Amino acid sequence: MCNGNVKFKQKQHEVQAEPGRTKVADKVAYLMGLYAAELLKVLCYPRVQVGNEYVTKGQTPQRKELQKLENRVRDLENELEAEQKRGCKAMKGVHKYEKKIKKSIHPSPVFQGEEEKKNVTRLQDLVNKLQLNVKGYKWQCEEVTEEQTSINMAKFRKVQHELEAAEERADIAESQLNELRARSRDIVGKVE
């Protein structure tokens, strides 16, 4: 891209451009009565008006909201995965303690058995809580996905309905145009 003698080059792996030489940009900005930094910012990162706000990537507010929801879903999935890993660790701990109970030979087996039972019970409670958290996260993910799907389907139906109405109006306008052309030919034929 070139604006006067200001040259821009494309960044690697990106769509955005970056300015080449800034001395020429300084001169161009001076001639335009602007600051060079503002001129380069406007040229490299154009802003587009979408509704009542300006955005740099041309995203609609609905697209922004969709991205926020997708990020939230990813975060919930990451939390779900972390909770599942903790649940697996807790189950391993339970199995480990069960093996120790079976293998241990201690002078006071009654006292040690009671303490290990408490530990196993505590670990089992932890596993149950983690499983409830996992179910809750799954439910939240499904709910967000279903809600987004229904919103998108409603938008699609609305746009489809508007398209059908526009096609119908276009057909009516075309038929009226053809009638007017036929009448004008008749009138021109009668005049001659």
DSSP 153-169: HHHHHHHHHHHHHHHHH
**Percentage of residues of the chain with pLDDT beyond 90:** 26
Residues 40, 68 within the same domain: no
**Which residue has better confidence, 61 or 153?**
153
Residues 36, 81 within the same domain: no
Residue 178 pLDDT: 92
**Which residue has better confidence, 106 or 11?**
11
> Cα separation of 24 and 45, whole Å?
19
Residue 98 domain flag: yes
Could you give the 3-state DSSP secondary structure of residue 8? strand
Residues 72, 138 within the same domain: yes
Residues 96, 71 within the same domain: yes
What residues make up the domain containing 93? 61-153
Q: What's the number of CA atoms in the CB half-sphere (13 Å) around residue 171?
A: 6
Residue 113 domain flag: yes
Residue 84 domain flag: yes
Residue 177 domain flag: no
Residues 139, 66 within the same domain: yes
Residue 12's φ and ψ, nearest 5 degrees, are -70, 140
Is pTM, for the whole model, over 0.85? Answer: no
**Percentage of residues of the chain with pLDDT beyond 70:** 76
Residue 53 domain flag: no
Residues 90, 149 within the same domain: yes
Residues 70, 37 within the same domain: no
Domain count, the chain: 2
Q: In the structure, what pLDDT confidence band is assigned to residue 37 with cuts at 50, 70 and 90?
A: confident
Q: In the structure, what pLDDT confidence band is assigned to residue 122 with cuts at 50, 70 and 90?
A: very high
Give me the mean pLDDT over the 93-120 stretch. Answer: 74
Residue 163 domain flag: no
Q: In the structure, what pLDDT confidence band is assigned to residue 164 with cuts at 50, 70 and 90?
A: very high
Q: In the structure, what pLDDT confidence band is assigned to residue 1 with cuts at 50, 70 and 90?
A: very low
Residues 149, 74 within the same domain: yes
| Amino acid letter, residue 147 | E
Residues 83, 126 within the same domain: yes
